[in-house]
Amino acid sequence: MSKSTNITWQNTQVSKQQRQTLAGHRSPVLWFTGLSGSGKSTIANAVAQRLYEEQVNSYVLDGDNMRFGLNSNLGFSAADRQENIRRVGEVSKLFVDAGVITLTAFISPYQADRDQVRDLLAAGEFVEIFVDTPLAVCEERDVKQLYAKARRGDIKGFTGIDAPYEAPTQPEITIDTSKQPLSESVEQIMRYLTNHGYLDLSA
Ligand SMILES: Nc1ncnc2c1ncn2[C@@H]1O[C@H](COP(=O)(O)OS(=O)(=O)O)[C@@H](OP(=O)(O)O)[C@H]1O
Ligand SMILES: Nc1ncnc2c1ncn2[C@@H]1O[C@H](COP(=O)(O)OP(=O)(O)O)[C@@H](O)[C@H]1O
């Protein structure tokens, strides 16, 4: 599908490993996936806050925000969501290369699209976090009143209502925000990062 020809990959003089050594930690992507209102942004931002307090560089890429800029020409058809996630995957890879822990909050409803991002990255760099909050709870929250609009038929193709959400088959972490408070989710993720050596380069 690439239209670019006659191009050659240029290696940078300073490597990813050197940037990670400078930062003092590894730089995975923490890929949050789940329904609208499941808690992706809230948890991602709380983890970013916690990492900041631990003096760890991180950055949150948020679905709504990316659609204001880089992805403003994309809608919510299956093809546009696929392209959305492909671009976010490529951007995430750059952040990983820069040595920054990257937290992404996108519905990313298709397993194949998430797997494509996983394949783009090195082993262990993609941590899939399934925010498995039941649809009924997301709809009850209806933070942006979008579920109400979707039920009225004012939005077509809304995830969970009349567009599919494919649950991850083998996520590294699963969180149900209807069963655990935000603080517990943050601790669960911090524990995972610590136990798997992401925050300690000597591990
Ligand atoms: N049709 C439809 N389906 C789902 N969501 C919709 C739709 N239209 C607008 N929105 C709003 O867009 C946010 C989801 O954008 P994403 O980029 O994360 O979606 S996707 O990964 O490409 O599926 C989503 O934000 P979150 O609530 O943060 O998930 C909604 O606010
Ligand atoms: N335990 C919890 N963890 C995370 N969010 C929660 C929790 N309980 C309630 N919420 C609320 O659920 C909403 C989730 O919205 P948001 O983070 O924007 O979801 P998403 O990014 O998945 O669309 C927020 O209003 C948040 O305050």
pTM value surpassing 0.90: yes
For ligand 1, pick from 33, 41, 64 the residue to mutate: most ligand atoms within 8 Å of CB: 64
What percent of the chain is predicted at pLDDT more than 90? 93
User: In the predicted model, what is the mean pLDDT of residues 30-59?
Assistant: 97
Residue 190 Cβ contacting ligand 2 at under 6 Å: no
Q: What is the CATH number of domain 16-195?
A: 3.40.50.300
- Residue 87 and residue 64: Cα distance in Å, rounded? 14
pLDDT digits (tens, 9 = 90+) for 130-186: 999 999 999 999 999 999 999 999 999 999 999 999 999 999 999 999 999 999 999
Any idea where the domains of the chain sit in the sequence? 16-195
Enzyme catalytic residues: 108
State the pLDDT confidence band at 200, using cuts at 50, 70 and 90: confident
**pLDDT for residue 202 is more than 90:** no
What pLDDT shows up at residue 192? Answer: 98
Q: Check whether 75 is labelled as a binding-site residue.
A: no
Query: Ligand 1 mean position to 17 CA, how many Å?
Result: 34
| Pocket lining: 160 vs ligand 2, CB cutoff 6 Å | no
CA 92/CA 100 separation, integer angstroms: 9
Query: Which stretches of the chain are DSSP H helices?
Result: 16-23, 40-53, 63-66, 78-98, 111-120, 135-141, 146-152, 182-195
As for the ipTM of the complex, it is: 0.99
Ligand 1 pocket (Cβ < 6 Å) reads 36-37, 41, 63-64, 67, 76, 81, 84-85, 106-109, 144, 146, 155, 157-159, 163
For residue 154, the one-letter residue type is: D
* Partners of residue 159 on adjacent β-strands: 163
* Tens-digit pLDDT profile for residues 1-20: 678 899 998 989 999 999 99
pLDDT interval class at 203 (50, 70, 90)? low
